[in-house]
Structure 1
Amino acid sequence: MNTIMIVEDDLKIAELLGTHIKKYGYESVIIQKFENLLDSFQKVQPVVVLLDVNLPNYDGYYWCQQIRTVSTCPIIFISARSDEMDIIRALENGGDDYIIKPFHYEVVMSKIRSQLRRATGEYALKISERIVKKNGLFLFPERMELRLKDKQAFLTKKETDLLEILLTKSPLLVKREVLLEQLWDNYEYVNENTLNVNINRVRKKLQDLGIENAIETVRGAGHRLHVTWTKDENE
């Protein structure tokens, strides 16, 4: 049974979410003790986490980081915070999506199904191991790992999908609409800044590997990946 873990300190909202989720054939587990949330996660082993930002002791950003140390399970933030920086912070700390309260339950279910398709369902990668490479840069989609020479970087699922698209098309421009459609099934619900956040996160990880100015943004059109890096003098 696919289990959705609900981390929400408003018990009424959590119970309403749980009831709605069960109508669609999923199991739900509502967390009511937040001191050892990572232990609860490892015990439940959910397929998706619905995570509030405002929690006792430590906030949702902290717990998202902790979950990311042990799992790539999709994490959808659900919060009353609607400021753009809150959304950016959620995504930069490892979240896959963000829903602003008040919300429609159908939107929540749509996003859950979308994440499951990406992670384990019809859109999940079926091949056991693949390598996408260009100019010495190696992407291992199943491992969500990026390598250049002796350096490596670990990616989130969304970062991996985004980079795979850009690598496969490089040096061609990929339209913004194409990226949105391929990364999110129901992209009309996606905040317009969400793609920009993921672009910047991938750009930073490429920079950490030594690839400067890797992703070119063409205003009003899309994005293009350039894989160029400076070789060491001894190479």
Structure 2
Amino acid sequence: MGYKIMIVEDDKNIAKLLGEYIERYGYSSIVLEDFDKVIEIFTQEKPDLVLMDVNLPKFDGYFWCTKIRQKSLCPIIFISARDNEMNQVMAIESGGDDYITKPFHYQVVLAKIKGQLRRVYGEYASKGAEDVIEIEGLLLYPERLEINFKDKKISLSKNECKLLKILMKKYPKVVSRDNLLESLWDDQNFVDDNTLSVNITRVRKRLSDIGIKNAVETVRGSGYRLNATWRNM
């Protein structure tokens, strides 16, 4: 999976247990401790989803949800002891995507997280949502020129992104050198076999930088294919 979940909850015990529970299922958790720096930490960490309490020090969860919405469309799930309808309405109007009342079952929270991630990043994502390609927890964001694996993110060049995108879309099939050359071709830059080899080497280096080794396999006489060597990491 590899998605990053930010937990904004001032009950330290609940926050800790939530973090531990979702990490059992392959997610990364960021448990916020400084409630004066919600936006700073959100901007720095770029989580894929936020679990947001309503009752927080100084400013409530509705306030922070509104601030996050000025920067991002990532899913926000409210978790609160306030169980009346007006609070749920306020959560939605401030930009929240779902609302869970305390006390809650951790399985319900996990199911809600999975549902929101599928809606935004997975098979239910609308065509207007950000393009995300995912294989075995490796996430490629072509519009950002960025890859994400577990808790690591790294930027790509335009050519590196083009190559990795076609390899991931064709996975686990072999992609011919001609197809890869076509993906790099534009009217301004001449592309040859050497250019392709150099860029494949760079893609391998970028994957290695986030802990994935030997993932781009050379198939002699055919081209290259992606091998999910990181599947069991």
TM-score interval, smaller chain: 0.5 to 0.7
Structure 2 equivalent of residue 77 of structure 1: 78
Deviation at 1:106, TM superposition (A): 0.4
Give 1:29-178 correspondences, 5 Å limit.
29-125=30-126, 127=127, 141-142=128-129
How big is each residue's C-alpha offset from its partner over 1:21-56, in whole Å with a ceiling of 9 and x where there is no partner? 011100001001011211110111111100000000
- Distance in 1, matches of 2:110 and 2:101, equals 14
Structure 2 equivalent of residue 17 of structure 1: 18
- Distance in 1, matches of 2:15 and 2:45, equals 16
Deviation at 1:83, TM superposition (A): 1.1
The amino acid that maps onto 1:5 is M
Please tell me whether residue 8 in structure 1 is matched to residue 4 in structure 2: no
In structure 2, list runs of 5 or more residues that go unmatched. 131-233
Contact 2:78 2:98 in 1 (8 A): yes
SS at match of 2:59: coil
Deviation at 1:142, TM superposition (A): 4.2
Give the greater-gyration-radius structure (CA). 2
Closer, same or farther in 2 for the Cα pair 1:120/1:142, shift >3 Å? closer
Contact 2:120 2:129 in 1 (8 A): no
Closer, same or farther in 2 for the Cα pair 1:142/1:124, shift >3 Å? closer
SS at match of 2:67: helix
How many residues matched? 129
- Distance in 2, matches of 1:112 and 1:96, equals 10
In structure 1, list runs of 5 or more residues that go unmatched. 128-140, 144-235
SS at match of 1:115: helix
How big is each residue's C-alpha offset from its partner over 1:114-142, in whole Å with a ceiling of 9 and x where there is no partner? 000000011113x5xxxxxxxxxxxxx44
SS at match of 1:29: strand
Deviation at 1:58, TM superposition (A): 0.5
- Distance in 1, matches of 2:33 and 2:39, equals 13
- Distance in 2, matches of 1:35 and 1:60, equals 12
The amino acid that maps onto 1:49 is V
- Distance in 1, matches of 2:76 and 2:129, equals 18
- Distance in 2, matches of 1:142 and 1:22, equals 26
- Distance in 1, matches of 2:22 and 2:45, equals 16
Contact 2:54 2:78 in 1 (8 A): yes
The amino acid that maps onto 1:10 is D
